[in-house]
Amino acid sequence: MRIFKFGGASVKDADSIRNVVEVLQEVGHKDTLVVISAMGKMTNAMEKVVTSYFEDKQSITTSIQEVIDYHDNILFDLFENKNHPVYNKVKLLFDEVKGFLTWNKSPKYAFVYDQVVGYGELVSTTIVSEYFGEVGIPNVWQDVRNLIKTDNSYRDASVNWERTQKEVTEKVDMSKLNITQGFLGSDDNNFTTTLGREGSDYSAAILAYCLNADSVTIWKDVPGVLNADPRNFKETQLLDQISYREAIELAFYGASVIHPKTLQPLQRKEIPLHVKSFIAPNGDGTTVGKGEDISPRVPCFIVKKNQVLIKLSSLDFSFIMEDNISEIFKLFHHHKMKVDLIQNSAISFSVCLDNKFNGLQLMLNELKRKFKVVCHEDVSLYTIRHFNDKAVKSLQNGRSVLVEQRGRETVQLVVK
């Protein structure tokens, strides 16, 4: 059994879906499970629906209609017969979204988010599955919410591995082509949960682990894992082979090509991960696998934008000790702030954070009761793995460096 994962860029329109068919015809699709994300930027569009629900209910109808129109254009292009069952299947899914927003009584943003946003994946896989059948590729559509079971930490759910293993073993016929969703799971009450933004790679790894898959292939619009994101750096090089450890390090620091949680279940069963291009499917791509000595031979650049740098110091010049740091981290956890860099001295503590759940202001108010707080918003965190002096100077040039931290293999710069 192989696991293929296709992201939003690979199914963003009708031609892209046709290209996915060509990829499967080129590389084969026997004994394969395909994990598919929401189409294009539809996760953003579904988030807009949730925002409308909480902030401007009069705009909900418009927000939903924009999503419906986007998918209708793809349907009209792929299915000439307007009586094809896919039209009704997609309509019923959007009716479920409207119905939920009508009867829901929960005021909790994270809960509503998960019940609504996940329909991007449900609709995309429905369309792709039906189109595969239309062009002669029989398949089984699986609702991943019946496979991946989680706790109820909405927007960032943790997997119940024992239950997930049981459901996957019972429900996935490994002799057939299966189509399912990334990003989603469900809790004990069968409410939809999500695994964190860009979590479809992780979904593929979870399913691979439970199925003892031979490999996982992530299909991207780049030729493989590069030493830098071509959207932010001009010159990039392909890393043809790296170890699990190195890939985990790169993902931890923010390399966008692989979701941070993806490598752990694969490494435990030594399932190789391939990152390949859906534009050139026969290219070599990158293989992530076993081997401590498989490291990049060039500096690898990673940038995280829109970060927050907070500098804390004691009000009375006393030391910031373990009890203070413990209290600070409890606040980070409570407000769901992801810590990307820490630097401290006797009376000060600096930390670079990802404010992805918008809990910054409430947290700052609490911190100011005990500490002097200096906050720099909209900073960028640059990380260089396997750095050299030339690589570091290339980032320092013309930038205001607020924090620099060096280790044996890694340097990090917070710049304004």
Extract the annotated binding site: 231
Contact 213, 1 (CB under 8 A): yes
Cα(327)–Cα(404) distance, rounded to whole angstroms? 25
Binding-site residues for ATP, in ranges, read 231
The amino acid present at 354, given as its one-letter code, is D
Between strands 273-277 and 286-289, the pairing is: antiparallel
For tokens 């280790």, the residue is 407
Within 8 A by CB and 6+ apart from 139, the residues are 34, 129, 132, 133, 176, 177, 178, 179
CA–CA–CA angle 71, 76, 81 (5° rounding): 130
Cα(385)–Cα(375) distance, rounded to whole angstroms? 27
Cα(185)–Cα(148) distance, rounded to whole angstroms? 5
| 259 half-sphere exposure, CB direction, 13 A CA radius | 22
Tokens of 381: 């965190």
